[in-house]
Amino acid sequence: MHTRIIALALCLAVLAGVTGQAMAAGEGETVPSVYVDGVLMENAHAALYGQTTYVSFTALVLALRPDAAVTWENGQAVARAEGLALAARPNALYLEANGRYLYVPGKIQAGDNETLVPVRVLAKALGASLTWDGAVQITSGGEPLTAGDAFYDADAVFLLSHIIYNESGNQPLTGKIAVGNVLQNRVASPTFPSTLHDVIYQPGQFYPDRTGCMAKTPNAESVIAAKLCLEGAMVVPGAYWFNGVGRSCWASRNKTCLTVIGGHAFYG
């Protein structure tokens, strides 16, 4: 029995040492080849996580920006060059790029001595274009990613981050994004006011004056969640209401619960 346990442990250890590509791709799935300007990337370390192709952060950065310095700092891969600042932290739901936060629903992955990022997200961050013809075709020379200071509307970040913090400051990042999504969904719906300000200040809804939330300082993750929402991150499409799980409210009695994230139930 003891021998069998040791053998099983050794087997698991060998499996754990298999590359991210082999572990991520399901049976019968083929990891696509990755080309940059028509040249095959031999060191792409491509892997499939779900239906998403991930590649080596270091390899693609250096393929598109050979002038970049890539380092490992404070638990994340960092790339710097003129006009470029990227950071990829394993298990994070976003890639930081020039002050922007690009959503990674499947999280940044830790491969075999490599940090793996969705190829489409990383190509966008590097100002490259991407097409698919059975392989991933990346073309350099596109428009560089607009920096965060110029891209984000400061008023929208302020309003979103303050409500997100007030309503879900203690929730996981996906829960924070979901609260921001509810606000955005309302703005896009003809049933609610058409501006973020008016949605927030609609009587009987978020009570910003009563709570004093606009005078509070949002935590860093609430600001990140607001920016992710403005980048298009969407975790609760069709949700227009939320409330504490198990709490009775108009939505819980009259609408369909779409999902539960952390301590909140979301309704549509």
Structural domain harbouring 36: 19-145
Q: What is the CATH number of the domain that holds 197?
A: 1.10.10.2520
> Which residue, 128, 145, 162, sits at the end of a domain?
145
* Residue 7 counted as domain residue: no
With tokens 């108009």, the residue in question is 250
Is residue 35 within 8 Å of 138, Cβ to Cβ?
A: yes
Q: Report pLDDT for 267.
A: 98
Domain-ending residue, one of 95, 122, 145: 145
pLDDT at site 111: 87
DSSP calls for 143-207 = PPPPPHHHHS-HHHHHHHHHHHHHHHTTS-HHHHHHHHHHHHHHHHSTTS-SSHHHHHTSTTSS-
Predicted TM-score (pTM) of this structure: 0.88
CATH number at residue 128: 3.30.457.10
Structurally, the chain folds into a number of domains equal to 2
pLDDT of residue 143: 84
Query: Going by DSSP bridges, is the β-strand pair 52-56/47-49 parallel, antiparallel, or unpaired?
Result: antiparallel
Q: What does DSSP say about strands 94-97 and 84-88: parallel, antiparallel, or unpaired?
A: antiparallel
Residues of the chain with pLDDT below 70 are 1-28
Q: Domain check: are 30 and 133 in the same one?
A: yes
Secondary structure of residue 41 in the 3-state scheme: coil
Structure tokens at 172: 């996981």
Q: How far apart are CA 173 and CA 105, in angstroms?
A: 11
Is residue 29 located within the same domain as residue 96? yes
Question: Mind listing the pLDDT tens digit for each residue in 54-68?
Answer: 999 999 999 999 999
User: Do 132 and 30 belong together in one domain?
Assistant: yes
Tell me what pLDDT residue 28 has.
Answer: 54
Q: Are residues 201 and 128 in the same domain?
A: no
Same domain, 108 and 159: no
Q: What is the pLDDT of residue 17?
A: 34
* Bridge-based pairing state of the strands 76-81 and 69-73: antiparallel
Question: Tokens at residue 10, please?
Answer: 């050794």
Q: Which residues pair with 52 in a beta bridge?
A: 49
Separation in Å, CA 266 to CA 115, 239, 255, 261: 33, 6, 10, 8
Please name the amino acid found at residue 68. A
